[in-house]
Amino acid sequence: MTARLTPRTPALEIRSLAVELGGRLALNNIDLTVRAGELVGLIGPNGAGKTTLLRAVLGLLTPRTGTIRLGGRPADRGRGTVGYVPQRHEFAWDFPLSVEKAVLTGRTHRIGWLRRPGSTDHEAVDEALDRVAMTDLRRRPISELSGGQRQRVLVARALALRPELLLLDEPFTGLDVPTQELLTSLFLQLRTEDKALLMTTHDLPAAADMAGRLCLLNRTVIADGPPETLRDPAVWLRAFGVARSDQLLTSLGVAR
């Protein structure tokens, strides 16, 4: 059981982070803090480094410089507090697993290899399935699921770990409206439970509507703050290369 974070203990704290991919800097001089009860929208154009940043937090990439702390601890000691929802195409949906078994794989590192899950593990899976309204489909093969159902399985898989920090990589892409509404409601509810959420998304109006903070990223942090404070079009132009006449600025309520 992980200790509940306090407001003074960041769920995620990144300082002076640089990540190199293929001989070039994919991220440079990244400073970012996410605390309990925050939902931070991580937004930027394709190639800005959003997924790279999540992978660095997960330990899948080795930083060139900088530090990552999770729950106040060095990242390699704190990753048990992190749940991750990858993009749907990254999961092997043709693998012969039921919904229930797929969600249980989210606890593999907690259970340990070659060990059988215990009652706590099954309770965590039951709870996660209930939260994404997938209990009735728990025996269904994952290969038979719709796109929206598959996304709910990935969210349940992350929640089964009972994380303090939830990393969400484009969780709304290609979803039907009912699934979008269900997940939006769930993510907002998790905020009230003092969970920390960091979400990449291309749906900028939705991010501005539901996130308490936006972090504009393009290989470095361009701007970071509540949506209502990011009204200077210059930061959007710098992050996205958006023309001043672009309708996106209007949809976001950014003065031109």
104: domain CATH number? 3.40.50.300
**Residue 53 has what pLDDT?**
96
**Residue 117 has what pLDDT?**
76
Task: Tell me if 39 is assigned to some domain.
Answer: yes
In DSSP notation, 175-234 reads: --HHHHHHHHHHHHHHHHTT-EEEEE-S-HHHHHHH-SEEEEESSSEEEEE-GGG---HH
Task: Tell me if 2 is assigned to some domain.
Answer: no
Look up the pTM and report it: 0.90
Beta bridge partners of 221: 217
Instruction: Report d(CA 207, CA 214) in Å as an integer.
Output: 8
144 contacts: CB under 8 Å, gap ≥ 6: none
**Residue 235 has what pLDDT?**
86
Task: Tell me if 1 is assigned to some domain.
Answer: no
Instruction: Report d(CA 166, CA 11) in Å as an integer.
Output: 9
Beta strand pairing call for 213-217 and 221-225: antiparallel
**Residue 221 has what pLDDT?**
96
Task: Tell me if 188 is assigned to some domain.
Answer: yes
- The answer to whether residues 101 and 153 touch, using CB atoms and an 8 Å cutoff, is no
Q: What domain range is 134 assigned to? A: 12-251
Work out the angle between the directed axes of helices 147-159 and 119-131 (0-180°, nearest 10): 140
Instruction: Report d(CA 53, CA 138) in Å as an integer.
Output: 32
Task: Report how many domains make up the chain.
Answer: 1
Instruction: Report d(CA 11, CA 189) in Å as an integer.
Output: 17
14 contacts: CB under 8 Å, gap ≥ 6: 30, 31, 32, 33, 53, 57, 66, 67, 68, 69
Half-sphere exposure of 77 (CA within 13 A, CB side): 6
Structure tokens at 133: 């309204």
**Residue 251 has what pLDDT?**
63
Instruction: Report d(CA 144, CA 219) in Å as an integer.
Output: 38
Task: Tell me if 101 is assigned to some domain.
Answer: yes
pLDDT along the chain (256 residues), means of 10: 59 96 93 96 93 95 94 86 92 92 86 73 94 96 95 96 95 92 95 95 86 94 92 84 66 62
